[in-house]
């Protein structure tokens, strides 16, 4: 699955998160260890599927539609 990031700063956080050997723990410093662990788990789940639809159909996690103020546009 191809994942597009909001901007280069967010992409840098995820690139660092997946760089096991040279990680600078950027995300951990930004949001804390517990939330970073949850984000990494969900990110890896997303990468394991070939499409977002197959991820939704799998029932993993509690995927909910973004409506109202959460929509972002």
| Sequence ranges of the domains in the chain | 8-58
pLDDT in tens, 15-25: 998 888 889 99
More confident residue, 63 or 49: 49
What value does the mean pLDDT take over residues 23-37? 92
The answer to whether residue 44 scores a pLDDT higher than 70 is yes
C-beta atoms surrounding 27 within 10 Å: 21
The answer to whether residue 53 scores a pLDDT higher than 60 is yes
């Amino acid at each position: 699955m191809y994942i597009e990031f909001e901007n280069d700063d967010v992409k840098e956080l995820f690139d660092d998160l997946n760089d096991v050997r040279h990680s600078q723990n950027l995300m951990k410093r930004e949001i804390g260890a517990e939330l970073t662990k949850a984000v990494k788990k969900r990110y890896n789940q997303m990468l394991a599927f070939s499409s977002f639809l197959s991820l939704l159909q799998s029932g993993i996690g509690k995927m909910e539609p973004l409506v109202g103020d959460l929509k972002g546009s």
